[in-house]
Amino acid sequence: MAKDYDVIIIGGGVSGTALLYLLDKYTDIGSVALFEKEKKLAQIASHSTQNSQTLHFGDIETNYTFAKAKSVSAGARLVQTYLDTYDKKKHMHSIFPKMVLAVGTDEVNRLRERYKEFKSLFPQLELIERDEIERKEPLIVKGRDPDEEIVALWTPQGYTVDYEKLSQSFVSQTKDSTKRVDVFMDTQINHIKRNGRTYTLYSDKGSFKTEALVVDAGAMSIKFAKEAGYGEHLSILSVAGNFYRGPEVLKSKVYTMQNPKLPFAAVHGDPDVHATGYTRFGPTALPLLMLERRNWKTVVPYFQTARWNFSGFASLFKITGDPTNAKYIFKNILYELPLIGSRLFAKNVKKIIPTIKSGSIKKDRGYGGTRPQIVNTNTRTLSMGEARVEGQNAIFNITPSPGASTCLANALRDTQQVLKFLNRKYRFKTERFKFDFKVE
């Protein structure tokens, strides 16, 4: 016999757990279940070793447009408020200053223009010149050619987050719930079946039925969407990111300027959320033929989710044939070469710290997850951010960066949609949410 729940969530990363938390605390829905295939929550993209730990607002991410920065910052503020409220002892986060550094005349001019546009959105953001950069981060200036122009945007409030611990905190908030909230760990959903307005989920521990399904399974969400008959025109370009470990040379997060055509942040230097004594540099961007990094069982699902038709191949050729993308991919492949790879990567680090020795930077084995970038085979384009497929009484979220920063905003949007799926039998506690999260 299948067990029934009002809502079922597949995936116990930061997206699924944020949704579980909102459904429990801010709705009167009777029963919710979350399924996670690993023994612990948030072991894939949301684990602190797999991502850059940044709470993205859009102030130092120069590949974001003004509109994107506005929406990402609204979402990030929810996470910020949650951390300020529940993490006073800073087990889940740290606060470091952060900046984006422009190097050379072209970047400097672009950053000055960007500041004019973005300062209204981020009043705390300051444009700082060489002298001030040197005061804040002496090693950025030490040994740099005095004729090389530099300028930076700086803000004191950079949140660095352990999204695994945040996921655990969301779930622990549901422990005393008066509702039926069940979290099934170590339980893989193997496939799903749509029966009109309901779904049956088949796992290695039995089957489960629901009227509202939300799939927050990272790249795996696309597999479930296709099983239910949705998102046929979408494929995944899995882009892994490696991190490198260098000596402790920075006190702040230091981003560099990115080409706005690329959906990833350029290489940056970051203090770790928990550890001291070193600086993390990265991530790189390396195409990979698996849906989850270092999980060989996801190679077959990767090929199953690809589109093996003319528009699938045409999309791939169009995206990889674009000169900006091709150059970027080629450069990132070179970083994988034995012996010279790390030295080539070190050039990116020298842009931030000119005096750093190439030999002092080593690839961090086991660090860096993969970002499931979405390819729309109808338009033959690469999506710049998250993707969401909505079907009858079901949502499938695929969340590359900045999906962790926007976890509560996405969960809020999905909570409203789930209430619609359930014919508005239940309600959202709007006033309580607005009060707790300090929103209008």
Ligand X SMILES: Cc1cc2nc3c(=O)[nH]c(=O)nc-3n(C[C@H](O)[C@H](O)[C@H](O)COP(=O)(O)OP(=O)(O)OC[C@H]3O[C@@H](n4cnc5c(N)ncnc54)[C@H](O)[C@@H]3O)c2cc1C
Q: Which residues bind ligand X (CB under 6 A)?
A: 10-16, 35-38, 42-46, 50-54, 56, 163, 188-189, 216-218, 220, 241, 283, 368-371, 399-405
Cis peptide upstream of residue 283 (ω within 30 degrees of 0): yes
Nearer of residues 218 and 269 to ligand X, judged by Cβ? 218
Q: How far is the CB of 187 from ligand X (least distance, A)?
A: 7
CB-wise, 61 or 107, nearer to ligand X? Answer: 61
- CB 50 → ligand X: shortest distance, Å? 6
CA torsion, points 176, 181, 186, 187, in degrees to nearest 10?
Answer: 170
Of 14 and 141, the one with the shorter C-beta distance to ligand X is 14
Paired strand residues for 4:
209
Comparison of 15 and 144: residue with beta carbon closer to ligand X: 15
Residue among 369 and 428 whose Cβ is closer to ligand X: 369
Q: How far is the CB of 184 from ligand X (least distance, A)?
A: 8
Q: Which is nearer to ligand X, 144 or 216 (CB)?
A: 216
Minimum CB distance to ligand X, residue 146 (Å): 33
Pick between residue 53 and residue 415 the one whose CB is nearest to ligand X: 53
User: β-pairing, 253-256 with 93-103?
Assistant: parallel
Q: Would you say 150 or 370 has its CB closer to ligand X?
A: 370
The two beta strands, 31-35 and 3-10, are parallel
Nearest-approach distance from CB 18 to ligand X, in angstroms: 8
Question: Nearest distance from residue 308's CB to ligand X, in Å?
Answer: 22
Please state the closest distance from residue 332 (CB atom) to ligand X, in A.
12
* Sheet with 234-240: strands ordered across: 286-288, 234-240, 370-376, 381-382
Q: Least distance in Å: CB of 300 to ligand X?
A: 13
In the complex, least distance from residue 323 CB atom to ligand X, rounded to whole angstroms: 24
**Nearer to ligand X (CB atom), residue 151 or residue 252:** 252
Closest CB to ligand X among residues 218, 263? 218
Residues facing 199 on adjacent strands: 194, 210
Provide, rounded to whole angstroms, the least separation between the CB of residue 247 and ligand X.
22
